[in-house]
Structure formats: C-alpha cells, structure tokens
Amino acid sequence: MSRQTINKYLTAIRLRIVELSILQSAPLVGQIEVDESYFGARRVRGKRGRGALGKTIVFGLLKRGDKVYTEIIPNCKSTTLQRIIKGKISIEKRHPF
C-alpha cells in the first residue's frame, strides 16, 4: 500500500472516531466527580513551586460506575472549569457536593 492510501484510511478512521464521540457526548447525570491532573516530567528538586509549570493539565469528570469525560485545558482558572462543567453536567440533576 502507498503512503497516500494509508493516510486516506487513517483520516477516515479519525473522522469516524470524532463522529462517534460527538454522538456519545450526552450530558452526565447523577453523582459526578471532578478532578484535574498535571502530566509531564517530574519536578526538578531545588526549584521553587509545586512543579506544575510546563505540564499538560487534564480536567476530568467521572460519573460513578459509568462514563468518564476528559479534556486538555490551558489553565485551571474557575471560568475555564465552570464552562466545561456547565456544558457536560445536566442542570436539573446538579448536586452541591
């Protein structure tokens, strides 16, 4: 197979994955756990701070015993997190805890 053919197949597969993920992105309902994690190299000893500088931030929502939604985010500001939470959790079932 040529590189063009392989690229064509990979593009078709990626597009199908996007279509399926959009179809399955219904709002989460029930008890939802929220957390963020930092991925990257280990913190260098002797440097100040908690070692989050330059790491990739991944924000996640977990419906207990069911689905997980994750998204790479640029920062952990409350406006960024609230936008994702409001878009992914059903409003009528939101709990304050």
Question: What pLDDT does residue 96 have?
Answer: 60
Three-state DSSP state, 38: strand
Distances (CA, A) of 90 to 2, 27, 35, 93: 47, 5, 18, 6
Residue-level pLDDT at 8: 95
Domains of the chain: which residue ranges? 27-93
Q: What integer pLDDT is reported at residue 9 of this predicted model?
A: 95
Per-position pLDDT tens, the chain of length 97: 899 999 999 999 999 988 887 777 778 888 889 999 888 877 666 666 666 677 888 999 998 888 888 888 998 899 999 998 888 888 664 556 5
Helix (H, G, I), strand (E, B) or coil at 90: coil
Q: pLDDT at position 28, please?
A: 82
Res 93: pLDDT: 47
β-pair partners for 45: none
83, 85, 86, 91: CA torsion to nearest 10: -170
What was the pLDDT predicted at 97?
A: 57
User: What per-residue confidence (pLDDT) applies to 43?
Assistant: 64
